[in-house]
Amino acid sequence: MSSKTFFARLRYFVKMTEYTPPRGMKDIDVEEMEKRMWVYDKIETVLRSYGFKRVEPSFVEHLETLTAKSGQAITAEIYHFKDKSGRDLGLRFDLTVGIARMVANNFAYPEPLKLYAISPMWRYDEPQAGRYRCFWQWDVEEFGSEEPYSDAEVIAVSLDAMKKVGLSGIRARISSRKLIDGILESIGTFDETKRLEILRILDKSQKVSHEELISMLKTAGLKNEDVEKLLGSVRLRGSVDFVSSALGKSNAKIEEALTEIQIVWDELSSLGVSSMCELDLGIVRGLDYYDGIVFEGFEQSLGSLSIFGGGRYNKLTGIYGKRALPATGAAGGVERLLIALERKGVFRNLPKPNRVFIAIVSDEVRSHAIALCQSLRNAEIVAEYPIKKWSLRRQLEYADVAGFTHTVIVGKKEVQTGLYALKELKSGNQVELSLEQIINKLAPVAQHG
């Protein structure tokens, strides 16, 4: 075979081969990334206003770190592998574990400690619409306070962050693992394994039929009357007074849990968000490390689409280091949030920042045009100049199709007079301005006051 024939076949093979992301993974294009960056900025503004500070735990953890609380069963749901030295490692599946590990091994952090992250993680789940094996979450965690005040603040900051991005109908449904444990104690005695099994079944109550739920609870060993009593309790929704009255105070754990819930509600009222909250004992949360207040956030106009969730985990840091701290936190999926915002039409009305294209008439003025572009950039105005040898007409065509908001043409006359034709592409309006006037007109401070 001649070299010419070989390379011809090679080019054909390369052309026909599709190089795509692995199943369950996705690329993020320019348009989606712009939306993501807008969302991140809005969320971070709220989180920082509450005093949370950003961190980034390791993407890769020792496998024993990931299984320490979730058990070996989690290995069927995550990416794990041996490295070249034979160590068992895994990609993180949430941010809580990594942040808890960080805090548990660093005594330099003062208490209480408020941290957040906006980062990717990985789960080996079955891919679905809007659900990928690599996904992003925003996450907030508070360490060092056993008081329900901390739970209320995490709920409030989550609600405020979602309001900030445009979910006006966001609501939080709140429950308590301690309360559910108290209800289970009123039914019978269960060892830890059986208790966790029942909790995981209850966590599916909004995802399976009533008949399936009864069947699973009976399979777990509950009697008919116990199943009826348990399901009657977890169906309770409404005000704290209504749920307290319906449950009664049958044991110390139920009384303690209801007291904590009342404190949370009082705090939420002071924070101005109690009208956005409801007590719902059907909220259980599936992760084993939760042991107190738990909650999920829903956008009313989108039905059962969960936007965020979280809860208290007082024993997790003690597993990962010498520093055992009570903690509570919340997290929300970015991809799911983007779907919600698209359905609400939030992105249709986003203001677009000014983007200026500097069109260069000739090489003689190129240096001046580049200096002009840099002056705009120094004023935080997005500005570009041609990096291809194009005619003036081709430059202006490019500016029109590439999404620029304005053009500035730089020729000999402009260099001599110091006045430039600033054209707004959407309206076609054109004015002659000095560099200082262009900056005053287009700079972000000028746009937003």
Was 95 annotated as part of a binding site? yes
Which has the closest alpha carbon to 278: 253, 290, 255, 296? Answer: 296
Under 8 Å between Cβ of 167 and 347: no
Was 268 annotated as part of a binding site? no
Torsion sign (Cα): 179, 180, 181, 184? positive
Was 171 annotated as part of a binding site? no
Total number of residues shown for the chain: 449
Which has the closest alpha carbon to 220: 208, 247, 202? Answer: 202
β-strands 406-410, 420-424 pairing: antiparallel
Was 374 annotated as part of a binding site? no
Q: Please name the residue ranges forming H helices in 300-419.
A: 316-320, 334-344, 366-378, 392-401, 412-417
Those residues with Cβ within 8 angstroms of residue 283's Cβ, 6 or more apart along the chain or in another chain: 173, 174, 175, 294, 295, 296
Burial degree of 87 (CB within 10 A; 0-12, 13-18, 19+): exposed
Angle between helices 192-203 and 224-234 (to 10 degrees): 60
Q: How far, in whole angstroms, is CA 269 from its chain's centroid?
A: 25
Was 137 annotated as part of a binding site? yes
Q: What are phi and psi of 430, to 5 degrees?
A: -135, 135
Was 222 annotated as part of a binding site? no
Was 285 annotated as part of a binding site? yes
Was 225 annotated as part of a binding site? no
Q: What tokens does 77 get?
A: 């749901």
Was 96 annotated as part of a binding site? yes
Residues annotated within a binding site for L-histidine: 94-96, 123, 137, 141, 285, 289-290
Residues annotated within a binding site: 94-96, 123, 137, 141, 285, 289-290
